[in-house]
């Protein structure tokens, strides 16, 4: 069972004063330990069966209170080592009482291999909040990160390959905020082994005060899964970090960055004779065969929308565009938003789908394709129903398209997949890539 890493450490000599539990419940320290917040003190010790039921409920399993095969399967899944069932009424914990947070780490791996991945993982949280992270080369940083194995001085030993991948400690003094990775795992920057960027973003979430989420699309979901690395945080993650620290001061993409070779888009769609490109809360509008591009905050063009657009598509038969953010979408004709936003469940999506990565309508087939992580759905615009009750794997039907898709459009008889800063022209009939370009070329760079 998962241990609870919530205790004090004297970092100078790594001696520990702690009490801990081996149950699924995140047991708190009793009030005989000085300096432990009341919120961490245990009220009562629940039975094993009741906490097992809590864990089963957390993962959507039958609440039997017994170690049945489904429960054991979840427990064997590679996962975070922080308890899942600490608190069902709140998804946020303590917070740092400042907005500039220092971090540092030690590792037996080459620093240049992990430095960029850690910086990117912290940057994901920085972009969603007012937080600023500064690298520290001392051992007095707010967040200390280490690659360690087996017993490593905190009484929560790692278990070798697979199993517990990492654990982290919430904001606080001493060991508070620190993150430990199991050095026995195969850490990579891709989808073989365990993606260090994805796991680091999860653990840094704990270090900032976030708890586990029951939403499989949240980066704070406790079990490991290959997930998109572009726009890693879900709308729930952003909402929770905003609740702790406030909303971002991040300024949307400006005109000076338009020709940045690393430019990525959150959504792209044709709208009549124009193409709309969305990034953060910013919009570029390019008319076909014209070099002049209109740009500015999305709200300048559609006053009712003041948020990031995750996906968008256009149905020419209706002269209507559909814009998605998290679990809601707007219907837009011209620049007018029609009615109130609707939930994507009205399109037939199950509750576990919390965000659409990309959408594209193919008018010749009356189908719209919705891409979510490494899968996609096919929606019949004529019947207004999903073709299948379950999604299909992207690689099965679109060979050679490997990365999570950030945007897609159908133009001149071909699909165009935006994967990071690259755009792939795809022949649907031949099922192969027939051209590649950079996102900036679509803006005339």
pLDDT in tens, 392-413: 888 888 888 876 789 999 988 8
Least confident window among 13-17, 154-158, 429-433: 13-17
Higher pLDDT: 114 or 291? It is 114
Same domain for 34 and 89, yes or no, is yes
**Residue 252, CA distances (Å) to 91, 258, 299 in order:** 28, 11, 12
CA of residue 126 relative to chain centroid, distance: 13
Query: Residue 344 — very low, low, confident or very high, per pLDDT cuts 50/70/90?
Result: very high
How high is the pLDDT of residue 403? 66
**What integer is the mean pLDDT of 325-332?**
91
How high is the pLDDT of residue 253? 45
Could you list the residues known to form a binding site, using ranges.
80, 142, 152, 154, 159-160, 167, 176, 178, 180, 182, 185, 202, 206, 212, 220, 266, 310, 312, 359
Residue 129 lies inside a defined structural domain of this protein: yes
Tens of pLDDT, residues 151-166: 877 767 888 888 888 9
Same domain for 241 and 305, yes or no, is no
Torsion of CA 89, 94, 99, 105, to 10 degrees: -120
Could you list the residues known to form a binding site for Ca(2+), using ranges.
142, 159-160, 176, 178, 182, 185, 266, 310, 312, 359
Query: Residue 231 — very low, low, confident or very high, per pLDDT cuts 50/70/90?
Result: confident
Residue 81 lies inside a defined structural domain of this protein: yes
Task: Indicate the average pLDDT of the chain.
Answer: 76
Higher pLDDT: 317 or 99? It is 317
Alpha helices (H) along 209-355: 235-245, 298-301
Residue 307 lies inside a defined structural domain of this protein: yes
Same domain for 269 and 207, yes or no, is no
Residue 309 lies inside a defined structural domain of this protein: yes
Residue 313: CB atoms within 10 A of its CB come to: 29
How high is the pLDDT of residue 226? 80
How high is the pLDDT of residue 288? 67
Residue 111 lies inside a defined structural domain of this protein: yes
The verdict on whether 432 is a catalytic residue reads no
Number of domains forming the structure of the chain: 2
Residue reference for tokens 């540092």: 104
At 444, is the secondary structure helix, strand, or coil?
coil
Which of 245, 273, 290 is the endpoint of a domain? 245
Q: Over pLDDT 90: what percentage of the chain?
A: 20
Same domain for 272 and 217, yes or no, is no
**What integer is the mean pLDDT of 382-388?**
89
How high is the pLDDT of residue 323? 95
Higher pLDDT: 108 or 407? It is 407
Query: Residue 320 — very low, low, confident or very high, per pLDDT cuts 50/70/90?
Result: very high
**pLDDT greater than 90 at residue 293:** no
How high is the pLDDT of residue 290? 61
The helix (H) or strand (E) run that includes residue 124 is: helix 111-127
Same domain for 304 and 225, yes or no, is no
First to last CA, the chain: 54
Catalytic residue among 203, 236, 273, 295: 203
At a CB cut-off of 8 Å and minimum separation 6, what does 32 contact?
none
CATH of the domain at 104: 3.40.390.10
How high is the pLDDT of residue 17? 22
Tens of pLDDT, residues 184-199: 888 887 677 888 889 9
Residue 334 lies inside a defined structural domain of this protein: yes
Q: Which residue, 80, 137, 134, is CA-closest to 106?
A: 137
Radius of gyration of the chain (CA): 23
Same domain for 292 and 238, yes or no, is no
Q: Name the token pair of 168.
A: 């982290």
At a CB cut-off of 8 Å and minimum separation 6, what does 113 contact?
189
CATH of the domain at 384: 2.110.10.10
Could you list the residues known to form a binding site for Zn(2+), using ranges.
80, 152, 154, 167, 180, 202, 206, 212, 220
Residue 57 lies inside a defined structural domain of this protein: no
**pLDDT greater than 70 at residue 43:** no
Same domain for 95 and 178, yes or no, is yes
Tens of pLDDT, residues 203-226: 999 999 999 888 888 999 988 988
Which of 193, 224, 245 is the endpoint of a domain? 245
Tens of pLDDT, residues 243-265: 888 887 544 444 446 778 888 89
Residue 314 lies inside a defined structural domain of this protein: yes
Q: What is the pTM of this model?
A: 0.49
How high is the pLDDT of residue 202? 94
Same domain for 371 and 353, yes or no, is yes
**pLDDT greater than 60 at residue 119:** yes
Same domain for 39 and 100, yes or no, is yes
**pLDDT greater than 80 at residue 30:** no
Which of 212, 245, 278 is the endpoint of a domain? 245
Same domain for 238 and 266, yes or no, is no
How high is the pLDDT of residue 252? 42
Domain of residue 427 covers 255-443
Same domain for 114 and 219, yes or no, is yes
How high is the pLDDT of residue 16? 23
Same domain for 285 and 201, yes or no, is no
């Amino acid at each position: 069972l998962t241990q609870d890493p919530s205790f004090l450490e004297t970092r100078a000599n790594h001696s520990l004063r702690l009490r801990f539990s081996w149950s699924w419940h995140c047991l708190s320290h009793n009030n005989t330990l000085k300096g432990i917040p009341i919120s961490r003190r245990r009220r009562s010790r629940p039975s094993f069966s009741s906490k097992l039921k809590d864990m089963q409920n957390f993962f959507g399993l039958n609440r039997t209170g017994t170690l049945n095969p489904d429960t054991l399967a979840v427990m064997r899944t590679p996962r975070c080592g922080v308890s899942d069932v600490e608190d069902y009424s709140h998804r946020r914990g303590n917070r740092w009482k400042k907005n500039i947070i220092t971090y540092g780490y030690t590792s037996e791996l080459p620093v240049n291999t992990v430095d960029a991945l850690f910086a990117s993982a912290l940057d994901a949280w920085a972009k969603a909040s007012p937080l600023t992270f500064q690298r520290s080369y001392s051992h007095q940083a707010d967040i200390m990160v280490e690659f360690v194995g087996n017993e490593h001085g905190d009484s929560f030993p790692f278990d070798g390959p697979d199993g517990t991948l990492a654990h982290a400690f919430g904001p606080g003094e001493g060991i508070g905020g620190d993150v430990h990775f199991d050095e026995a795992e195969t850490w990579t920057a891709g989808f073989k082994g365990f993606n260090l960027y994805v796991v680091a973003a999860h653990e840094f979430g704990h270090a900032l005060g976030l708890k586990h989420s029951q939403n499989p699309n949240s980066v704070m979901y406790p079990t490991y899964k290959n997930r998109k690395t572009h726009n890693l945080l879900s709308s729930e993650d952003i909402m929770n970090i905003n609740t702790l620290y406030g909303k971002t001061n991040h300024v949307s993409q400006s005109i000076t960055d338009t020709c940045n070779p690393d430019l990525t888009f959150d959504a792209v769609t044709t709208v009549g004779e124009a193409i709309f490109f969305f990034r953060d809360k910013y919009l570029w509008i390019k008319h076909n065969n014209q070099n002049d591009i209109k740009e500015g905050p999305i709200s300048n063009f559609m006053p009712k929308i003041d948020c990031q657009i995750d996906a968008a598509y256009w149905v020419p038969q209706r002269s209507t565009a559909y814009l998605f953010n998290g679990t809601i979408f707007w219907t837009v004709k011209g620049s007018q938003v029609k009615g109130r936003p609707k939930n994507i469940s009205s399109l037939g999506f199950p509750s576990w789908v919390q965000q659409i990565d990309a959408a594209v309508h193919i008018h010749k087939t009356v189908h719209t394709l919705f891409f979510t992580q490494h899968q996609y759905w096919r929606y019949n615009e004529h019947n207004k129903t999903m073709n299948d009750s379950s999604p299909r794997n992207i690689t099965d039907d679109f060979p050679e398209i490997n990365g999570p898709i950030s945007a897609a459009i159908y133009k001149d008889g071909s699909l165009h997949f935006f994967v990071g800063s690259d755009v792939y022209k795809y022949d649907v009939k031949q099922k192969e890539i027939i051209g590649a370009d950079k996102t900036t070329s679509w803006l005339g760079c």
